[in-house]
Amino acid sequence: MVNLTKLAAPLDVGGVKIRNRVFLAPMSGITDEPFRQRAHAHGAGLVVSEMVASGELAKGRTGFNLRIRHSGLPVHMVQLAGREAAHMAEGARIAAGEGADIIDINMGCPAKKVTGGYAGSALMLDLDHALSLIDAVVGAVDVPVTVKMRLGWDEGALNAPMLARRAEQAGVRMVTVHGRTRCQFYQGKADWRAIARVKEAVSIPVVANGDVSSPAEAADILDQSGADAVMVGRAHCGAPWIAGGIAAEATGETTPKLPRGPMALADYVVAHYEDMLALYGVESGLRQARKHLGWYLDRHAGGVADDSRRAILTAFEPARVIGLLRDVFSRDPQPLNLRSAA
């Protein structure tokens, strides 16, 4: 078993210093500014913006500036997705102009609306085209460029080692590998051993991703992949402190700024809700916050009555939602297992 203390060490990514090696994964519609701020406050070593469509960013579409806005954290990392080299280069320049310290290229998203436009993990079907995008982004900015990928499109095309090797040759400074193919989506178990083939193919840092939600799983993925760092994604839904908890386990310290006790948890959820309303405006914020409220309820107030849950997730008056949240979390919240997925 790998000693978790490895994760407590800083990591250099193209001259950018990362404080530890447990990262928050970019998740579309989830890792916005309020979420990233919380994950960082809890101790995540690196937090990444949700995926930003480079074409929409380059065209100046309303709202996309919020996804790349600098949130004041020590390292600002923006993930771009796209198919057109010109748009990827322009999107990278815009993100760097907004203060991005690292630009990540999405070559791993399995969603049909992304791959249907020949972006995300569809780029792994054509490595020459994928490299043209990498060349465009690396040539457009002076900040480090990284790539997030899957093992390949399907079991018949496990070309992540080849893509990683060519990406390194093109100037990429770190790669993250989710241990599934695109065709698996999120089914089955991530193949952590397969990530080891990517680690063997390159000399730049490799980040292992997929099915990590606890210190024990972080140790296992390091052991099986030989990776330099771990990235945690879906385990954070309703628990922005998971990466920080794993990092704290690596150092033997206490996860910082955790909500302890029913009232503190209620305050925490309400503050997250209010920050989303402030960022997006009440109308949009109400809609976008509902998934987060649902996750908080599922994980920490499992006994909430159906009518209370329905009211929280459908009400249009923020004051009513806040009152209901305080009432629910003050009754009988689930005990928090703050260093795991529970």
Q: Which residues are catalytic?
A: 109
DSSP lists the bridge partners of residue 175 as 147, 206
Residue 187: partners with Cβ closer than 8 Å, 6 or more residues away = 180
Comparing C-alpha atoms, which of 134, 169, 128, 129 is closest to residue 148? 134
What is the rounded distance in angstroms from the CA atom of residue 144 to the CA atom of residue 146?
7
Structure tokens at 68: 């790349």
Residue position matching structure tokens 């209370």: 308
Contact status, residue 83 vs residue 53, Cβ threshold 8 Å:
no
Give Cβ neighbours of residue 216 (< 8 Å, ≥ 6 apart): none
Alpha carbon distance, N-terminus to C-terminus of the chain: 23
Q: How far is CA 252 from the centre of its chain?
A: 24
